[in-house]
């Protein structure tokens, strides 16, 4: 653990995010542009698990949206440099910082929860009922019907969790460069997933780039964003014990329960959201209450 005896943000963080943004721009301009605006519009690409979706990119017939999305997504990536500088390497957190992170946590939690209940067709091509949504309608499948909301889900989820984890680090005078790097990688990975639509279960083939990139992005996103918080909880549980031990145990149990549910019940947006909701709740308690304050 490194204490905050220096206020200057390491140049490596700026270089890392500049490299991420440049790589993303190259990927989107030279590799993904024709795929998104051409290949993903074909019937075969829009047919997932036997059902043909109308528009899985949200850009069919509106290709001018692609450069707009590229600029917006690039800016959202570069903002992570500002998040690290303003929240982790500032002299002290301000009321504006607190309000920004609190509002982000609340909006993120509400949006992620509501998104899991959005309409999507079931395997028979009919409107899914609640049982379908619990068993197998994933966030990615909802994204095939609501591609722009799926993009918001990814960008908002990454930014709101990352900023609140950084806020936690600053508030509790903790700093882990490994945690910041893993959180950065996880936040970036979701941009892979939201740009490569799901192929469903029937056509799952990891030798196909679309499938491999989609799944890799989702898994790295989940692991990368959870890692900084787990590192923090483990450190605090070891050093301060008390409620941090219980928080660490409960958080890990929630992750374990989610894995069990995914295996026994099935993967769905509602089940996938369990660790996200647990993360938002834990971060809100850590950042905006005195529940974990030291007893004087």
pLDDT, tens only, 197-256: 998 876 778 889 999 999 999 989 989 999 999 999 999 999 888 889 999 898 888 878
- Tell me if 122 is assigned to some domain: yes
- Tell me if 283 is assigned to some domain: yes
Q: What integer best gives the mean pLDDT of the chain? A: 90
Q: Give CA–CA dist 237/244, Å, rounded.
A: 5
Domain span at residue 214 reads 88-288
Q: By mean pLDDT, which of 97-101, 132-136, 194-198 is the weakest?
A: 132-136
CB atoms within 10 A of CB 46: 18
- Tell me if 33 is assigned to some domain: no
- Tell me if 80 is assigned to some domain: no
CA distances from 129 to 47, 123, 135, 262 (A): 21, 11, 10, 19
Q: Would the pTM of this model clear 0.75, i.e. be above it? A: yes
Number of domains comprising the chain = 1
Res. 4 pLDDT band, cuts 50 70 90? very low
Q: Give CA–CA dist 279/226, Å, rounded.
A: 8
- Tell me if 24 is assigned to some domain: no
- Tell me if 45 is assigned to some domain: no
């Amino acid at each position: 653990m490194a204490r905050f005896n220096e206020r200057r943000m390491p140049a490596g963080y700026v270089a890392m995010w500049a490299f991420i943004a440049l790589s993303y721009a190259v990927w989107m301009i030279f590799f993904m542009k024709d795929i998104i605006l051409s290949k993903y519009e074909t019937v075969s690409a829009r047919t997932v698990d036997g059902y043909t979706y109308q528009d899985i990119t949200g850009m069919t017939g509106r290709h001018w949206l692609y450069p707009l999305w590229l600029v917006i997504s690039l800016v959202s990536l570069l903002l992570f440099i500002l998040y690290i500088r303003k929240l982790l390497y500032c002299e002290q957190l301000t009321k504006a910082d607190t309000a920004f992170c609190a509002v982000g946590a609340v909006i993120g939690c509400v949006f992620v929860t509501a998104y899991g209940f959005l309409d999507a067709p079931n395997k028979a091509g009919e409107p899914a009922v609640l049982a379908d949504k619990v068993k197998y309608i994933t966030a990615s499948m909802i994204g095939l019907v609501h591609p722009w909301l799926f993009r918001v889900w990814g960008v908002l989820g990454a930014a709101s969790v990352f900023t609140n984890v950084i806020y936690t680090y600053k508030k509790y005078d903790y700093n882990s460069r490994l945690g910041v790097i893993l959180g950065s990688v996880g936040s970036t990975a979701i941009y892979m997933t939201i740009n490569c639509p799901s192929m469903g279960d029937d056509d799952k083939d990891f030798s196909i780039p679309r499938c491999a990139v989609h799944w890799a992005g989702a898994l790295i996103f989940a692991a990368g964003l959870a890692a900084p918080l787990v590192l923090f909880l483990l450190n605090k549980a070891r050093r301060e014990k008390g409620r941090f031990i219980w928080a660490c145990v409960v958080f890990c149990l929630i992750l374990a329960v989610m894995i069990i549910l995914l295996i026994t019940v099935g993967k769905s947006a509602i089940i996938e959201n369990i660790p996200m909701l647990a993360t938002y709740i834990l971060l809100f308690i850590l950042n905006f209450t005195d529940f974990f304050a030291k007893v004087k």
